[in-house]
Amino acid sequence: MYRLVKPIFFKFDPENVHHFVVKRLKWFHDFFPLGKTILRGNYDISYKGLEREVFGLKFKNPVGLAAGFDKNGEYVEALSNLGFGFIEVGTVTPLPQPGNDRPRMFRLQDDHAIINRMGFNNKGVDVMAERLRLLKNREPGIIVGGNIGKNKNTPNEDAICDYVKCFDCLFDVVDYFVVNVSSPNTPGLRALQEKEPLKELLNTLQKRNNKDNRSKPILLKIAPDLTNEQLDDIVEIVKETHIAGVIATNTTIDRNGLYAEEKLKSEMGGLSGKPLTKRSTEVIRYLAQKSGKSFPIIGVGGIHTPEDAKEKLDAGASLVQLYTGFIYEGPGLIKRICKALI
């Protein structure tokens, strides 16, 4: 079915198509007679051998949806019934912000890739928290991660306050947190990946996390463009701050080896999709080997086939996430990956 409609979707602006599709998915799930049952019947797969226990949480399968697809936590329940083992929402910021000017998302079809410079467009953490609070009352079994960031206008010296605000606001309604300091689309954000600012940020969040004998797993999302020396720092920081793990990787600013026309290649923003497959797996393997597999890694970047997912798991990932592969290959990819892992 997706193969029939995909060529039509790809004739239109990708951001417009995204909103069109997810809104109709939610309507079908919530209001169409037997909509939820139909989605589960076609896409969900239940098999005990797929279950994973990672950083203290039990996942029904290891295939999740990466952050950026559902920025405001509006579609969690519908998306989970496409077979995902977990859904990561955000990136969310303390205050609402419109993001960068449009157009800000571009398909590189020859490369099976996307360039985006969305800029953390979202409705703010209070809106997300309220939505997830209602969701938790209906579907307590859905594992939800909260990907948190800073507002564009917040200077880096005040960034910790933004992360703390998001952390506190979402603490009761998400199952794990992801600290996003690796998006290339917020000016200056990647500077927070430097060793000392990053340690200060993560230690501050861990202090908040250990209050009242309750805690949530905190993960760090890193860029694929880090050097081995910087990855060594990441391993050291994870061990020193005792966070739960790492998500590898975010989008890349590298444009080497692309087939797309020069105009598309020169668009500013982060590149995702097949061109990232090899590099993200290299980062996963390096982190796993360097750390002695002492912390879990969620592998994301260029997963378009079951083989791509298995490579990341074999390289040392405990779980994987989809985004661009989900757009290019359709929702059937989740089930195909799960079947290949049985």
The catalytic residue positions are 183
Give the Cβ contact number of residue 12 at 10 Å.
10
* Closest to 163 in 3D by CA, of 121, 212, 97, 218: 218
> With 0-12 CB in 10 A as exposed, 13-18 as middle and 19+ as buried, what is 229?
exposed
Give the Cβ contact number of residue 302 at 10 Å.
29
> Which of helix, strand or coil describes residue 88?
strand
Return the half-sphere exposure (C-beta side, CA atoms, 13 A cut-off) of residue 163: 30
Sign of the CA dihedral running 299, 304, 310, 311: negative
Return the half-sphere exposure (C-beta side, CA atoms, 13 A cut-off) of residue 103: 13
As a whole number of angstroms, the distance between CA 151 and CA 128 comes to 15
As a whole number of angstroms, the distance between CA 235 and CA 294 comes to 9
* Residue with token string 């449009």: 102
As a whole number of angstroms, the distance between CA 128 and CA 123 comes to 7
Question: DSSP labels for 200-251?
Answer: HHHHHHHHHHTGGG----EEEEE-TT--HHHHHHHHHHHHHHT--EEEE---
Which letter, b or e, does each residue of 145-179 get, where b requires 16 or more Cβ atoms within 10 Å of its Cβ? bbbbbbbbebeeeebbebbbbbbebbbebbbbbbb
The Cα-based distances of 285 to 130, 133, 238, 275, 316 in angstroms read: 38, 37, 16, 17, 6
Beta bridge mates, 218: 177
